[in-house]
Amino acid sequence: MYGERPVVICTKYRGVFFGYAEDTHGATVQLYRARMCVYWDNALHGVLGLASDGPSSECRVGPAVPQIELRGVSAVIEVTPEAVTKWEAAPWS
C-alpha cells in the first residue's frame, strides 16, 4: 500500500529522494513511488527548494520505482502540493 505523505528524504550517503512514506521515524524509511534527484538547479537554493518549489526543468530526476528502502536517513522534509506536481513530472534536462 502506498503511503500518504509526500516527502523529500536525504541520506547520509548524499542521496536525495522524493516519494511517499507512512512512517518516517528512524534511520531506515520505506519510500513508495520513489524518484531520485541526481542534480538540482542552483536557482532552487538547495534541497529545501526541492521540497518547497519542486524540481525545475534544469534538474535531473529519474523515473519512479515502486518501492525503495532508504538507509542512513538524515532528513525528512515535507513537500508542498505544488512541488509534488513538479516531482511527478520527473524533469531531466
The predicted-structure confidence for 19-69, as pLDDT tens digits, reads as follows 999 999 999 999 999 999 999 999 999 999 999 999 999 999 999 999 999
Contact 86/54 with Cβ under 8 angstroms? yes
Q: Is the pLDDT of residue 87 over 50?
A: yes
Comparing CA positions, the residue from 80, 83, 45 lying closest to residue 61 is 83
For residue 77 the three cell numbers come to 522534509
